[in-house]
Structure 1
């Protein structure tokens, strides 16, 4: 944990000094979460990716203004949110979901904070899923990402329903323990539990 923190501090210094590799580092760190965040609002992945790229360009243009990685993250989320709002406002025809997102985005900082937290939790959970043993990972993804039932998974993988349940229970326990070891707060662990019970 301390080593990871020091690495971020070092990259912050590199960014301040104008090292392009530092921008690539922060892009790798945050672009996936931001792409999820913007795609949900726009229902247009290409446009969402374009907005994320433009917001990172703004980070580069202001690279001397950021004191901490949290400053960069906040700037990126707020910039992406504003760019999404501008894009949605410019559309002649909007879907019902896009109309709802305009109201949502105009709703204030609490709504944006909720979305940021949800995005961060999903990003962390996705990283933890990739660390699971192969069979467990397949079962977990089928349950929570593909939305299949225990019976469907058992049939598809040629396993008993009890084996699927056992794999699910072990996967949830492993992810929870890993989040705990990484110092993830109780609030984020609760968000994870909400994610897996939805």
Structure 2
């Protein structure tokens, strides 16, 4: 590899000046990392590949605005998180897609027996998650629902571990307040004991 392209900052400078080789190198550096984090959320390899394509298309389109002094990794995760959020907004309006994702969760769920209780809990939790900021939601999903550590979530989101911790505390508090009056909340708590 040419030494000119070994430093990320130099690659970003190249990208800003429309150097396709710099763009390709950045794609190679980050596409696999993005793939794994997006796949955890959308559960579809093809959809994950489509989102990655959209993310890097957006990077190319906005290349002149990239700040070479800021974390490119964080920039990518913000863009990809926005695409994932947009996708789930569309899914929430499409009953077939809702059913597909709900069934994905039910197939792998071994806690509460009746699927109706799971559906109600899942819908209630989704409403609670809608009250969170983008970062709070991402941290909550990664740490509470997927069981990732603070450091793993920090790496996926391009945040510090302390920022992840702060977001998780706020998110957990908001979710508890939202769910505290619900019978389904207590069923969920009891089933996790």
Size of the aligned set, in residue pairs, is: 123
- CA 121–80 in structure 1, closer or farther in 2 if over 3 Å, else same: closer
**TM-aligned CA deviation for residue 71 of structure 1:** 4.0
Q: Is the 8 A contact 2:151 2:161 kept in 1?
A: no
Separation in 1 of the partners of 2:27 and 2:39?
A: 17
Shift of 1:66: 1.1
Map of 1:1-198 to 2, 5 A cutoff? 7-68=7-68, 70-91=70-91, 92=94, 93-94=97-98, 95-96=101-102, 97=105, 104=129, 107-108=132-133, 109-112=135-138, 115=142, 118=152, 121=155
- CA apart distance, 1:50: 0.6
Q: Which runs of 4+ in 1 moved over 4 A?
A: 97-106, 113-117, 119-122
| Equivalent pair of 2:39/2:48 in contact (CA under 8 Å) | yes
Tell me how far 1:70 sits from its aligned partner: 4.0
With 100-109 and 78-87 compared, the bigger mean Cα shift is at 100-109
Worse-matched range after superposition: 21-30 or 112-121: 112-121
User: Does structure 2 retain, via aligned residues, the 8 Å contact 1:33–1:120?
Assistant: no
TM-score scaled by length of structure 1: 0.50
Distance in 2 separating the partners of 1:107 and 1:64: 31
RMSD: 3.6
Tell me how far 1:44 sits from its aligned partner.
Answer: 1.0
Deviates more, 1:111-120 or 1:47-56: 111-120
Gap runs ≥5 in structure 2: 106-121, 143-149, 163-193
Unmatched tracts of structure 1, length 5 or more: 123-184, 188-198
C-alpha deviation, 1:186, in angstroms: 9.3
Deviation at 1:62, TM superposition (A): 1.1
> How far does residue 69 in structure 1 lie from its aligned partner after superposition?
6.8
Aligned-partner Cα distance in 1 for 2:85–2:22? 28
Equivalent pair of 1:12/1:68 in contact (CA under 8 Å): yes
Query: 2 CA distance for matches of 1:52 and 1:66?
Result: 18
Q: Is the 8 A contact 1:39 1:48 kept in 2?
A: yes
Counterpart-to-counterpart distance in 2, 1:75 and 1:21 = 19
Aligned position for 1:191: none
SS of equivalent residue, structure 2 residue 65: coil
1:171-196 deviations in whole A, cap 9, x for unaligned? Answer: xxxxxxxxxxxxxx998xxxxxxxxx
